[in-house]
Amino acid sequence: MSVTKRANRQWLVLLSILAVFGLLAAACGSDDAADTATDDDTSTSTDDDTSTDDDAMADGETKTIRVAAVANGNVERMAELAPEYFTPESGIEVEFTILDEGTLREVTTRDVAAEGEQFDVVMIGMYETPQFGANGWLTGLNDLAAASDTYDIDDLIPAVRGGLSVDGELYSSPFYAESSFVMYRADVMEENGITMPDAPTWQEVADIARQIDSDEMAGICLRGKPGWGDLGAAFTTVLNTFGGTWWSANDDGSIGTSQVDQPEFAEALNFYVDLLNDAGEDDAANSSFNECKTLYEEGKVAMWYDATVAASLFPEDVVANTAFALAPTNLTEGSGWLWAWTLAIPTTAADPEAGFEFIDWATNAEYHELIADLDGWRAVPPGTRQSLYERPEYLDAAEAFAQRTLDAMLAAPIDNPGTTPRPGLPGVQYVGVPEFQDTGNRCTEQFSAAIAGSISVDEALEACHAIASEYNG
């Protein structure tokens, strides 16, 4: 009996040790949380030796804001420059969380929608901004912008500003913006005696692609990787100009019924898949911006229809051989998309002024000059401000594509991209409703499988119609 009693006591001791440990851990945990909630920097106290927490608190000098942003070159460059060029001036430290596009959407949408209060500034796209703004999840920027000497809201390219506003209130500030156009190898066209029109139709582009296509060089590179922002974006611009759409619109602008079963939709998808099969890049079902960019730079494709921002990322020798044409059309006048990665402040953010101070720094014209000084004018994040396209230095450095980019952005038909009424406007390469994300993702998985040839186009259409119909209003 005494053995068991002692055993009992042993276990009690162990249990209480565990409990104490748990409590300690919990205490540490909530300390962490409290620290971050008060915008007090925990990392300075552990990593840096410049100032202790107490100093910072007493002086009220160091604030920390937390920013979630997408992983790409322009953003990473900005994150590198912030500690050197933003923090000393503003006294605000910026902690970045850089995530890939898909994860960023998951994290930021949940954070702003369910009030996670994890971030002071989030990078979102042109697709999310009007929706989040209308839901009341974002801080309006008009007043903050008006109070700034450096921001100059009227300098924003009107189409971009329009796409990021709800009822005249700007809800996010564009970091860079893009349209879509055709990039092609001028030298290859010349060798083959082909003249590419300035504003080609899809039929012309397809004919040229099939004509050029050879074993060494594919005719055209198009996105085929699943995702509403990958294949979904490129394909929807084709769909629009072929007269198709994802859903009809009710009178109040809400989602009507799925239009995926309509002949125009089938025509567009057949056109896209056939073109890729006949004259597209290898492994098109796995290709998106990155893959196409590599193939184009290596001379394995003669044409590439994608984002205008690509031009600013090419090496010099590639730019020299490249010419540009507007996004191809069929039934509509223009078909280029409009996209921007933008910075926004969730309504739950503790210190919107500090957040805007950072947004201002990262997206104003002075930032353009900073990048120009450090990396050259060609590396400036394009597409957001008219002033950039008025600067002779920029037009000179980016001569090959600057005007084309601006033209494409101005021509993007954001208020009426197709031939029939549709929900979710403005928006070209997406339908600006929350339901499109799921529909676009799952349908493009089907389309991608059709491109790979593992299912037929008809099977893909049937599945996609079922998916889109889940959301019929």
Partner 1 sequence: MTAATSNAPSREEQVKALQKREARRRRLPLLPALIFTILITQIPFVMSLYYSFTDWTVTPPSPRTWTGISNYTDAFTNSFFREAAVTSIVMTVSSVLLSVILGTGVALLLDRKFFGQGFVRTLIITPFLVMPVVAGLVWKNQMFSAAFGVINWLLEAVGLEAVEFASKYPRWSIVAVLVWQWTPFMMLIILAGLQGQPASVLEAAKVDGATPRATFFQITLPHLRPYLELGVLLGSIYLIQVFDHIVVMTGGGPGSTNVPYFVNQRSIGGGWRFGSASAFSILVVIATIFIATFGLRVLSGLLEGEEP
Partner 2 sequence: MSGSNTGPVVGERKLGGYLLSALAWFVGFLFFFPVFWMVLSGFKTEADANGPPKLFFEPTTEQFAEVTNDTTGLLSAGEAFSNSFWAVAISTVLVMLLAIPAAYALSIKPVDKWRDVLFFFISTKFLPIVAAILPLWIIARELNLLNTRLILIILYTAMNLPLAVWMLRSFFSEVPRELIEAAQIDGTNLRGQITSVILPIVAPGLAATALLCVIFAWNEFFLAVQLNPIEGSTVPIWVTGNVSTRGNFLAKLSAASTLATLPVIIAGWLAQKRMIRGLAMGAIK
- Residue from the set 105, 185, 391, 404 that interacts with partner 1 by CB under 8 A: 105
Q: Residue 377 Cβ, how far from partner 1 at the closest point, in Å?
A: 33
In whole angstroms, what is the distance from residue 443 CA to residue 11 CA?
57
What residues numbered 374-433 form the site for partner 1, per CB under 8 A? 433
Q: Note whether 445 binds partner 1 by CB under 8 A.
A: yes
Q: Note whether 452 binds partner 2 by CB under 8 A.
A: no
HEC profile for 140-151? CCHHHHHCCCCC
Query: In degrees, to the nearest 5, what angle opens at C-alpha 358 toward C-alphas 42 and 104?
Result: 75
Helices (H), 124-173: 128-134, 142-146, 158-163
Calculate the alpha carbon distances from 227 to 11, 177, 385, 436, 448 in Å: 54, 19, 29, 11, 9
Q: Residue 102 Cβ, how far from partner 2 at the closest point, in Å?
A: 9
Q: Which listed range, 2-10, 143-151, 166-174, 417-425, lies at the site for partner 1 (CB under 8 A)?
A: 2-10
Q: Note whether 214 binds partner 2 by CB under 8 A.
A: no
The residue among 174 and 440 lying less far from partner 1, judged by its C-beta, is: 440
Binding mask 295-334 for partner 1 (x = CB under 8 A): x----x----------------------------------
The residue among 397 and 466 lying less far from partner 1, judged by its C-beta, is: 466
What residues numbered 41-100 form the site for partner 2, per CB under 8 A? 42-43, 47, 66, 68, 70-74, 76, 79-80, 82-83, 87, 93-100
Q: Who contacts 439 (Cβ-Cβ below 8 Å, separation ≥6)?
A: 228, 246, 464, 467, 468, 470, 471
The residue among 285 and 372 lying less far from partner 1, judged by its C-beta, is: 285
Q: Note whether 376 binds partner 2 by CB under 8 A.
A: no
Q: Who contacts 241 (Cβ-Cβ below 8 Å, separation ≥6)?
A: 202, 328, 329, 330, 331, 332, 335, 418
Give me the phi and psi of 68, to 5 degrees please.
-100, 130
The residue among 174 and 224 lying less far from partner 1, judged by its C-beta, is: 224
Q: Note whether 41 binds partner 1 by CB under 8 A.
A: no
Could you say which of partner 2, partner 1, none residue 97 binds, taking C-beta under 5 to 8 angstroms by partner kind? partner 2
Query: Are 453 and 275 a contacting pair, CB within 8 Å?
Result: no
Residue where the block lists tokens 């003669």? 302
- Residue from the set 20, 37, 57, 320 that interacts with partner 2 by CB under 8 A: 37
Tokens read off for 192: 């083959």
